[in-house]
């Protein structure tokens, strides 16, 4: 009975056009946080297949030896772009309009190890529209800073 419920739930998720684990387009990038032994890691994901809308998520994390590493300030900027002829983009959360087909959303946290953003992209325009999701992040601790970027492309 439980297996049937999980399968039905997965079909519902696919029909809604949201990301399914293992079926997402993703990318990551990292950079050392000087003098700390920690790394700043940027991640970007969005759904692989969608009919109308597409979920996206970006994050900036700091880790040291695979464990969470707390910093003074950590920032993440998500840039989502609809690609294609006469492409347009609506985003939830709405963010800042960079152009007709590009939006940005940013988030900053203090005294923690992560800043993340998630939402729904609604591309419009030509039928051959694809999405690019980029994550640009930075971390600051004890007078040093580092930045990392990642871009997931269809």
pLDDT at residue number 3? 31
Q: Residue 97: CA atoms inside 13 Å, Cβ hemisphere, count? A: 6
d(CA 42, CA 60): 5
Which class would CATH give 2-153? Answer: mainly beta
Query: Per-domain residue ranges for the chain?
Result: 2-153
Distances from the Cα of 137 to the Cα of 106, 110, 134, angstroms: 9, 14, 10
Phi first, then psi, for residue 52 (nearest 5°) are: -135, -65
- What's the predicted TM-score (pTM) here? 0.81
Q: What is the pLDDT of residue 128?
A: 67
Choose among 140, 153, 137: nearest CA to 43. Answer: 137
Counting as low any pLDDT under 70, the low residues of the chain are: 1-22, 126-128
């Amino acid at each position: 009975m439980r297996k049937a419920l999980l399968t039905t739930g997965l079909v519902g998720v696919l029909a809604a056009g949201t990301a399914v684990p293992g079926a997402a387009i993703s990318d990551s990038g990292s950079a050392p946080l000087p003098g700390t032994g920690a790394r700043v890691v940027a991640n970007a994901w969005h759904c692989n297949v969608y009919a109308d809308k597409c979920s996206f998520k970006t994050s900036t994390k700091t880790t040291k030896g695979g464990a969470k590493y707390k910093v003074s300030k950590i920032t993440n900027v998500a840039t989502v772009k609809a690609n294609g002829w006469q492409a347009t983009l609506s985003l939830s959360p709405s963010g800042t309009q960079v152009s007709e087909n590009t939006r940005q959303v940013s988030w900053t946290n203090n005294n923690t190890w992560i800043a993340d953003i998630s939402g729904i992209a609604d591309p419009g325009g030509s039928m051959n529209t694809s999405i690019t999701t980029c994550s640009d992040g930075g971390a600051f601790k004890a007078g040093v800073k580092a930045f990392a970027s990642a871009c997931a492309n269809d």
